[in-house]
Amino acid sequence: MLTMLADFQSILGIVHESDLFGSFKMMGLGMLGILIVMLLLYLLIMVLSKFGKEKKN
């Protein structure tokens, strides 16, 4: 399937197969990375909230 897709002409110039796959790779890894960071920050806030409450007590 990888070899079926070749470079093709688009509005602004030639679309390279490597660039297209790179953009999809970027989408997958980028969204995964953002999700991981946001989940870590969520856990961080939970820990900080608990730590802040205990300190108050």
Partner 1 sequence: MPLLLFVGIGAMIDFGPLLSNPRMLLFGGAVQFGIFMTIVLAVLLGFPLKDALSAGVIGAADGPTSIFVAKTLNSNYIGAISVAAYSYMALVPIIQPFAIRLVTTEKERKIRMPYHPKQVSRLTRILFPICVTIVAGLIAPDSVALVGFLMFGNLIRECHKLDSLKETAEGPLTNLITIFLGITIAFQMQAEQFLTFGTLLIMGLGLFAFVFDTIGGVLFAKLLNIFLPEDQKVNPMIGGAGISAFPMSSRVIQKMALKEDPTNHLLMHAVGANVAGQIGSVVAGGIILSLAGNLLGV
Nearer to partner 1, 4 or 40 (CB): 40
Instruction: Give the x/- contact pattern for partner 1 in 38-57, rule: CB under 8 A.
Output: x-xxx-xxx-xx-xxx-xx-
**Joined tokens for residue 52:** 């802040």
Query: Hey, which residues between 12 and 31 contact partner 1 (CB under 8 A)?
Result: 12-15, 19-20, 22-27, 29-31
**Joined tokens for residue 28:** 């997958």
SS3 9: strand
**Joined tokens for residue 26:** 């970027």
Q: By the criterion CB under 8 A, which residues form the site for partner 1?
A: 9-15, 19-20, 22-27, 29-31, 33-38, 40-42, 44-46, 48-49, 51-53, 55-56
